[in-house]
Amino acid sequence: MLLDEAVEALVWRPDGVYVDGTFGRGGHSRAILARLGPAGALVAFDKDPAAIAEAGTIKDARFSIEHTSFAEMPAALAGRGKVAGILLDLGISSPQIDDAERGFSFRFEGPLDMRMDTTRGITAAQWLAQADEQDIARVVRDYGEERFAVQIAKAVVARRSEPGHGGPLTTTAELAALVAKAVKTREKGQDPATRTFQALRIHVNQELADLESGLSAAYDLLQEGGRLVVISFHSLEDRIVKRFMQAHARPQQNADPAMRRAPLRADQLPQPTLKLLGRVKPGAEEVAANPRARSAVMRVAEKLPSPASPSSASTQKAGHP
């Protein structure tokens, strides 16, 4: 199971401080706590009030929860020092998808909300009611990779502004029906609304911006030898994670071309600060049990000693990767 593999890759010292950046319903957090010793600690984050309520059922002095995005880790962890590992399980959870009132799925009739944190921010319906055609097309195209983004945006604006079109969208069923009319062709087995719902969810929750901020925060917070484990569920997320990890693992490839051409010794070029430990996809058995896992990709990296660190030479001589 990917859950077991993620926790196995994450927890390398039982007395460390760990972060579960996306608590969800607590599966990863409970598994991490089971591997920690008495001196270990786990700090979890989640924007969803339902997740915060679920976290309240964990009665363990080593555990605490923050009702905010993992992008806010630096402020929430101030004073704790460096951490041993950070896990980010991106996207939305099955309970969120299956709750019609949350508005994440076109399969259920419900309000067009899509907020992970229902206590703040505007809903998808509110945004669609006020955004202009160009912005709607940009969001649907960029975050949903939808080639019919312009047609969808035109249909949304027409519905809310022209007599007889029904007014602004307010429910998931209304949006799904509108998209189905605007999208002319779709991959076999995929609902026409899939890409649009993904795009709006990402935009409403600023998921990609949070991911970029969270990765940078995680890198700064990790101690030497610390692990970063990220599970993503679509190409936009995975691309960001892949590029971030590779930029730190292979900095010479990303160095200024002039620097690469300069007569410098290898140790004068940017040095790796992350080691890539692997890329894992769920097995056939897990996908059969949970079809939503089929697109998951887990990437793991380890924080290397800084080239300026006094311990660098000794750890490398001792065989440290």
Instruction: Kindly report the average pLDDT of the chain as a whole number.
Output: 89
pLDDT of residue 293: 80
pLDDT at 284: 85
- pLDDT confidence tier of residue 167, bands split at 50, 70 and 90: confident
In angstroms, the CA 274 to CA 5 distance is 20
Return the pLDDT at 78: 92
Length of the chain: 321
d(CA 66, CA 217): 16
pLDDT computed for residue 265 by the predictor: 57
User: What mean pLDDT comes out for the span 133-139?
Assistant: 98
122-131, 183-192, 270-279, 289-298: lowest mean pLDDT where? 183-192
Average pLDDT over residues 241-249: 96
Amino acid at the residue 273: T
Q: Identify which of 52, 18, 26, 69 has the alpha carbon closest to the alpha carbon of residue 221.
A: 18
Q: What is the pLDDT of residue 307?
A: 67
- Tell me: is residue 103 an annotated ligand-binding position: no
According to the annotation, is 233 in a ligand binding site? no
pLDDT digits (tens, 9 = 90+) for 291-319: 778 889 999 999 999 765 444 444 443 33
Whether 99 shows a pLDDT value over 80: the answer reads yes
Q: Is 89 assigned a ligand-binding role in the annotation?
A: yes
Question: What is the predicted pLDDT for the residue at 280?
Answer: 94
Cα–Cα separations (whole angstroms), residue 51 to 108, 162, 164, 228, 242: 21, 40, 41, 22, 28
Tell me: is residue 70 an annotated ligand-binding position.
yes
Residue whose structure tokens are 């984050």: 45
Predicted confidence (pLDDT) per residue in 42-72, tens digit: 999 999 999 999 999 999 999 999 999 999 9
Return phi, psi of residue 139, to 5°: -65, -50
Residue 313's pLDDT is what?
A: 43
What's the whole-number mean pLDDT along residues 108-120? 95
Assign domain 2-94+207-317 one CATH number from 3.90.226.10, 2.30.40.10, 3.40.50.150, 3.40.630.10: 3.40.50.150
230-244 burial, b at 16+ Cβ within 10 Å, e below that, comes to bbbbbebbbebbbeb
Q: State the average pLDDT over residues 189-212.
A: 94
> Across residues 250-263, what is the average pLDDT?
63
Domain boundaries, the chain: 2-94+207-317, 109-205
pLDDT at 118 over 80: yes
| Separation between Cα atoms, residue 256 and residue 29, nearest integer Å | 41
Domain 2-94+207-317 identical in fold to domain 109-205 = no
Statement: the pTM of the whole predicted model exceeds 0.75: yes
171: β partners: 111
- AA identity, residue 205: N
Residue 27 is labelled as binding a ligand: yes
In the numeric block, the tokens 């989640």 are attached to 46
Percentage, residues of the chain above pLDDT 70: 88
Is there a binding annotation on residue 28? yes
Fold designation for 109-205: DNA polymerase; domain 1 (1.10.150)
pLDDT of residue 253: 65
Average pLDDT over residues 98-114: 94
* Sign of the torsion angle spanned by Cα atoms 259, 263, 265, 266: positive
% of the chain at pLDDT higher than 90: 75
